[in-house]
Amino acid sequence: MMKIFFGTKGKSIVLLIAVCQLLVTYCSKHFYPEHPVQNIESPAENKKLKEFMAAGTEKVINTRNTSPDEIIKTARRYIGVPHCMGGTTMKCIDCSGLLVAVFGKHGIQLPHNSEEQAKYGKIITGMDELKKGDLVFFIRSYKTHHFITHSGIYIGNNEFIHTSSKSGVTITSLNDPWWNEKFIFATRVFD
């Protein structure tokens, strides 16, 4: 009788362990699914990304009358301009203000907010897929309730032009550890 009870108890434990493993696997796939976007560190960030994507992306801007090279040439004119929150001029400028000013010189309107700018164009998730003129976006660059906190323009050779709070408008490599771990995706606004 003791052998049968132990055997049944052992089978119950094995069954319980199997059920727990199935639940963990199911929950991790259905409640915290992986997203093809890199640098998502938590279920909360994954949730923010899903909310952001669901709110609408791929708004179209008319870039037919300009080229990525013209945008980059205009952006380079701002190198060295100091950083200031809310700025859009040669006196001082912030990251989203740089995009507003540069594209504005070519008659293209963008909102003055990185998170709103990220809703324009086709999303590109891999750094290896970037083309000149793509808009690049980053998360966790400073503490805020916004999900996307920084923007810039990809200029080729794995570099982007943006406004740094320390250096002002500058060119930085996407291999830079600080920016590499914060890159979330890019958007393509040129065909």
Active site residue 20: no
Please name which of 104, 88, 105 lies closest in space to residue 163, comparing C-alpha atoms: 88
- Looking at 35, 84, 112, 150, which residue is catalytic? 150
Q: Which letter, b or e, does each residue of 27-58 get, where b requires 16 or more Cβ atoms within 10 Å of its Cβ? A: eeeeeeeeeebeebeeeebbebbeebbeeeee
106 catalytic residue (yes or no): no
| Number of other CB atoms surrounding residue 185 within 10 Å | 25
Closest of 58, 64, 57, 63 to residue 109, by C-alpha: 63
- Using CA atoms in the order 60, 105, 89, 87, what is the torsion angle rounded to 10 degrees? 0
Q: What is the pLDDT of residue 32?
A: 34
Catalytic residue, candidates 30, 83, 92, 162 = 162
Active site residue 146: no
Q: How confident is the prediction along the chain (191 residues), in pLDDT tens digits per residue?
A: 444 444 566 666 666 665 555 554 444 433 333 345 666 667 777 777 777 666 655 666 778 889 999 999 999 999 999 999 999 999 999 999 999 999 999 999 999 999 999 988 888 888 999 999 999 999 987 777 778 899 999 999 999 999 999 999 999 999 999 899 999 999 999 98
Active-site residue among 84, 95, 106, 112? 95
The domains of the chain are located at: 2-31, 50-188
| Angle at the Cα of 38 from the Cα atoms of 103 and 93, rounded to 5 degrees | 30
CATH superfamily of 50-188: endopeptidase domain like (from Nostoc punctiforme) (3.90.1720.10)
Supply the pLDDT for residue 33.
36
Given CA atoms 156, 119, 138, 152 in this order, what sign does their dihedral have? Answer: positive
Stated pTM of the model: 0.76
